[in-house]
Amino acid sequence: MMKQFSYSQALLALAIAFLAFSLFKFTLHVPAMLSVIEKTTRTVDLVSPRVEDIIQEVSLVRLEVGKVRELVSQQTPAILSQVQASLPVVQQVVVESENYSRQLPAILSQLARIEQQVAILQKSMPAILKRVDAVVKTTNNTTAEVAQWRPHSTRYLEEVKLSREYIPQYLSRIENTVVDAKTVGSEASSGLVSGFFKGVFSLPFEMVSGLTGIVDVDSRSAKYLTAQDVALMQEKVVVLLSDSNQTKSVWQNVKSGNRGTILKGKTTTRNKQQCMNVIFNNHFGNEKETLTELMCIDDKGLWKVM
């Protein structure tokens, strides 16, 4: 009985000692806790005056949230309707995507065939390169021959330039020759001139014969314009003067690179004939020239340069 009582007393003493030790450790932390509480108190003192402002801001935020909710509730039906309307489009996109996915195997097979063709082409490259070398050799030979022909080409260009200068004179001579030949009909005359210039003119000769002077012999246009250029100008002049609603016409010769515009000017009367000033703006190379010709219509209804 005495032995059991002594164990209990010992356990109680140990418990009291542990409690005293815990209290001692707790008391060591009390100053730090007090400092923290003091700091917290100061912070609360600083924050407490702002609590009312915070409450007001919170109330404003609640009002804004309420407005946003109301706006969302108002726009929700429209959003839902738009979503509902976009569903068919989405379904169509899905269907098209399915179609594309079905076509992918065919595309992949085509790509495989292209790769095979590229492989075959790569194998054929040596033969192709040999052919290219042969073409290069031929080109070099051709270049050498062209270099030999260049001096002759310069002479040919000089002769062509001289022939352009004499073209208006040739046209005048042809006009006088055909006018004097009374047995030549209008169709035969047209065919004669067309054959002479290899199909340049599409107008009957009696129309063309009065228009040979639209380019002055002493002008730069007579020097640089070709026979085709003059023929195009003649055709455009006839069409322009025949249409009372048209005031401007444009011509361009792809072969020579020359171009121009034809404008109607003032109308007048000369020898009881209706006349009109026609303005020609001719462009050749980097140069241009403006010519003005007086054209009158005769009793046969044909326009002539006066």
Residue 188: the pLDDT is 37
Closest CA to 205 of 222, 181, 169, 241: 181
Coil, helix or strand at residue 75: helix
Residue 260: the pLDDT is 95
Q: How many CB atoms lie within 10 A of CB 263?
A: 15
Residue 286: the pLDDT is 87
Q: What is the mean pLDDT of each run of 10 residues along the chain (306 residues)?
A: 62 85 83 84 76 80 84 82 82 82 85 86 83 81 70 61 54 43 37 40 60 84 90 89 91 92 92 91 92 89 85
Residue 9: the pLDDT is 78
Residue 245, amino acid: N
Residue 306: the pLDDT is 80
Residue 197: the pLDDT is 42
**226: Cβ contacts below 8 Å, ≥ 6 apart:** 164, 167, 253, 255, 256, 258
The pair of structure tokens assigned to 24 is: 């001692």
* Cβ atoms 229, 236 nearer than 8 A: no
Residue 208: the pLDDT is 62
Residue 165: the pLDDT is 53
Residue 148: the pLDDT is 67
Residue 176: the pLDDT is 42
Coil, helix or strand at residue 251: strand
Secondary structure (H, E, C), 145-212 = HHHHHHHHHHHHHHHHHHHHHHHHHHHHHHHHHHHHCCCCCHHHHHHHHHHHCCCCCCCCHHHHHHHC
**Helix H or strand E segment including 107:** helix 51-180
Give the distance, in angstroms, between the CA of residue 233 and the centroid of all CA atoms in the same chain. 33
